Structure formats: C-alpha cells, structure tokens
C-alpha cells in the first residue's frame, strides 16, 4: 500500500440512532421512536462550527458519517451537513466522503439521493451472508436483502466496502472460507473482516457469562484469522490493517487518519477527536448532547491536553495495527520525543528474531505471524512509561 502522505483535515460525524440494538454491539447507538431531524441538523452544524473555529484551517480530506446507522439520515440532512463542512473548511481535491449503513431495503432506497448529496463511499454492515448467522447476530436484514442492498450501492457509489463478522461459535474453516470466497466475488475494493469479540456490557457478554453462549476457542479463531489473510491476499485485497483488507489505493483514507495518529474533528454524541495535542469527547447520551448544544453551542463534555508520552503511546498502539508499521523517527520528530523512547529496543530485537516484528530503517511493524498476537506484543514493545502516561 502507499505509505504515509501529508495529512489533511478529517471530520467524523456521529449519528447515534439505530432501528435495533445488536447483541454484540458496544458502540454509542440508541433506539428512539422518533427523531426531530431539523433540531439535529441545527445541533450538528453548531457542533461543527465550534470545531472549525478551533481548527488550523486545512481543507478536509475526508468526512465520515458513523453510528449508529447514518444511512437512516434523510439525504437532505446529509447534504446540508456536507455543504456546511465545505463552507467552514473547504474540501481537498478528491475528498473521501464515507457513510456507514445497514443493508435494509429502507436504507437502500436512499442510496441514489445520498450519492447526489456528495457521499462517494459507503461501508455496509452485511455482517454475514448466512441467514442463521444473521439471526444469531440480531440483524434486522436477511442475506438476500443485504445482497440486494449491496447491488444498489455498487450502482450508485464509486467505492463500496462491507463488513463481515467471523469466528462465530462452532464456525468451521470450510464454512468461513466458502463465505469469504463468495464475498470476494462481489468485486468490492475493500472488506472489513472482524472476529466476533464479546464486549463488556453487551447482551452477548451476559449470555457468555451464564454459559448460554460459548465463544469459539482461541486456537480455532487464530486458524480462521490466518485463513482470512491468506485468501484475501491471494485475491488482491491484502490486509493493510489487522481487520481491514483492500486493493491498493482503496484503503479507507479516513480510518488511516486515526491509525497514523493525525488530527481529526469529532462531532455528535459520544464522538472523540484529536486536535493540536488535545483530546476531545462529546456527551454520549443524545439528549445530554442536545442539552449541551443548547446551553453552550457545542456538545463537548471533556477537553484535555495530551502529554507527549501519552500521544506517543496512542500513536504506537494505533500505528502497529497497520501493515506499513510506524516510522519511529518521523513520529518522534512530530511529537517531540526521542525515537528510542517509543519502543523497547531489547524486546523489539527479541521478537524480530522470532519473526513476529520487522524493522526497515526507522520503520517498525508487526509481521503477519505476529498480528494474531498483537495485543500481547503491544504490551511488550511499547515501553511501560509510555503506557502509564
């Protein structure tokens, strides 16, 4: 994949509403009987103006509508937000504008209008191509409806990605490999392929705690991870991040902003941001966020300075997820720390000798063999004083 290019502005817009709460989901999503779209438009624009006033004026290279289910947003609302973002920051040539969506027929009916509003990339939450798995995952669509929505999306958007969840209880290698080959056959340039994880506070966590759900064992899940990387690489969509696969040039530019630890603006309930050495966080509950907008003109609940060591720790934890790794010298210069402080040199040498990490000049990364052990490696490679910062 193309290595790091000069950063541009990135804007994240959180739409917190869903038709239903999935049992595995720990995102900031909410089910409401009705939504006052005019009020939400005004509030999101107020939050946006607050961030723009504090920005360095660089044009936006990406906008990402996440959720929740932003494909439930009226296209006119999306168009209005994009028009305001362009007025406030300006758009860089070739800007990437992504919208996440669930593949229901209701949302697919909006795709043409969303494309006309300026969206040029969609990320669809298909999650599975199997009806039984979709029922297990609590999805409101079936496989046929999901594939119909994918077909509509491919007609209207220049770039399409979709998500699948694997390593479900009792899932076999043969079942996942067949589903993966089928998914690759649809011809999209990007796939997000996530192992099922049992997140605290979800319904699946409760079921697992009571023994009503038995997660796939670690060895079987690791085998499926290796299979996923081999099959996608052979098909020309190698992993550029631990769970994301793309044809060269089709990587999510917005998500690369996070993983390369560049600044981004986050607006809407629960949204996080990074700008100028500050961490920002919005109120999570939609009603609390709206109240904050009414009281102060923005939805920020916390703004705090990030010590250079904390920034370095975050940058390492994010950057080592990428196949391209981290340029230690460049990162050290940007954050004002010594490059030798970013990684434990002795442990790096130890794990490099075992084929789990690689070094090329000042760049360090995790190998394919190391990626299944990423969490453990991060705890070893990133010095304790950084992690404790």
Residue of 165, 174, 176, 169 whose CA lies nearest to 216:
169
What is the spatial distance between Cα 104 and Cα 68, in angstroms, rounded to a whole number?
A: 14
Task: Note the pLDDT of residue 8.
Answer: 75
pLDDT value at 313 more than 70: yes
What is the spatial distance between Cα 154 and Cα 236, in angstroms, rounded to a whole number?
A: 19
Which of residues 259 and 202 earns the better pLDDT score? 259
What is the spatial distance between Cα 245 and Cα 378, in angstroms, rounded to a whole number?
A: 21
Structure token pair of residue 381: 């490679």
Task: Note the pLDDT of residue 1.
Answer: 46
Give per-residue pLDDT as tens, 1-42: 445 555 679 999 999 998 777 876 767 888 888 899 999 999
Distance of CA 208 to the CA centre of its chain: 25
pLDDT value at 293 more than 50: yes
Give per-residue pLDDT as tens, 49-81: 999 999 988 999 999 999 888 988 999 999 999
Under the banding of pLDDT at 50, 70 and 90, the label for residue 193 is very high
Domains of the chain, by residue range, sit at 9-259, 308-387
What is the spatial distance between Cα 319 and Cα 313, in angstroms, rounded to a whole number?
A: 10
pLDDT (average), residues 92-102: 95
- Mean pLDDT (the chain) is 93
| CATH topology classification for 9-259 | TIM Barrel (3.20.20)
Under the banding of pLDDT at 50, 70 and 90, the label for residue 201 is confident
pLDDT value at 297 more than 80: yes
What is the spatial distance between Cα 25 and Cα 340, in angstroms, rounded to a whole number?
A: 38
pLDDT value at 388 more than 70: no
Which of residues 322 and 388 earns the better pLDDT score? 322
For the stretch 21-60, what's the b/e string if a residue is b when 16 or more beta carbons lie within 10 angstroms of its beta carbon?
ebbbbebbbbeeeebeeeebbebbbbbbebbbeebeeeeb
Give per-residue pLDDT as tens, 116-127: 999 999 999 999
Reply yes or no on domain 308-387 having CATH 1.10.10. yes
Task: Note the pLDDT of residue 2.
Answer: 46
Give per-residue pLDDT as tens, 140-178: 889 999 999 999 999 999 999 999 999 999 999 999 999
pLDDT (average), residues 191-205: 92
pLDDT value at 263 more than 90: yes
Task: Note the pLDDT of residue 95.
Answer: 97
Task: Note the pLDDT of residue 384.
Answer: 73
Task: Note the pLDDT of residue 3.
Answer: 54
């Amino acid at each position: 994949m193309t290595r790091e290019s000069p950063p541009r502005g990135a804007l994240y817009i959180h739409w917190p509403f869903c038709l239903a709460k999935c049992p595995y989901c720990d995102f900031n999503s909410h089910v409401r009987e009705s939504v006052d779209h005019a009020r939400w438009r005004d509030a999101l624009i107020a939050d946006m103006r607050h961030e723009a006033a504090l920005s360095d004026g660089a044009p936006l290279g990406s906008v990402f509508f996440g959720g929740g289910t932003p494909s439930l947003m009226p296209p006119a609302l999306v168009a209005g937000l994009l028009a305001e973002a362009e007025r406030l920051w300006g758009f860089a040539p070739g800007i990437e504008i992504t919208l996440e969506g669930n593949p229901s027929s209701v949302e697919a009916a909006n795709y043409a209008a969303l494309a006309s509003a300026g969206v040029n990339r969609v990320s669809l939450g298909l999650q599975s191509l199997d009806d039984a798995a979709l029922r297990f995952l609590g999805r409101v669509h079936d496989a046929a409806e999901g594939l119909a929505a994918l077909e509509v999306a491919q007609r209207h958007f220049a770039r399409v990605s979709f998500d699948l969840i694997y390593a479900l209880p009792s899932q076999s290698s043969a079942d996942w490999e067949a589903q993966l080959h089928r998914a690759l056959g649809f011809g999209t340039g990007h796939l997000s392929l996530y192992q099922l994880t049992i997140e605290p506070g979800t319904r699946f966590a409760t079921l697992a705690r009571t023994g009503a759900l038995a997660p796939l064992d670690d060895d079987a899940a690791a085998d499926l991870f290796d299979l996923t990387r081999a099959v996608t690489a052979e098909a020309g969509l190698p992993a550029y991040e631990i769970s994301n696969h793309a044809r060269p040039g089709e990587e999510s530019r917005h998500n690369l902003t996070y993983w390369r630890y560049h600044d981004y603006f986050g607006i809407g309930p629960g949204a996080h941001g990074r700008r100028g050495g500050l961490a920002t966080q919005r109120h999570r509950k939609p009603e609390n966020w709206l109240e904050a907008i009414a009281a102060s003109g923005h939805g920020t609940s916390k703004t705090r300075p990030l010590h250079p060591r904390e920034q370095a720790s975050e940058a390492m934890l994010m950057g080592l997820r990428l196949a391209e790794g981290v340029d230690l010298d460049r990162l050290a210069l940007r954050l004002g720390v010594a490059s030798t402080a970013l990684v434990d040199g002795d442990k790096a040498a130890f794990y490099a000798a075992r084929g789990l990490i690689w070094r090329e000049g000042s760049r360090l990364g995790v190998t394919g063999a190391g990626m299944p052990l990423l969490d453990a490696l991060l705890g070893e490679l990133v010095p304790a004083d950084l992690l404790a910062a």
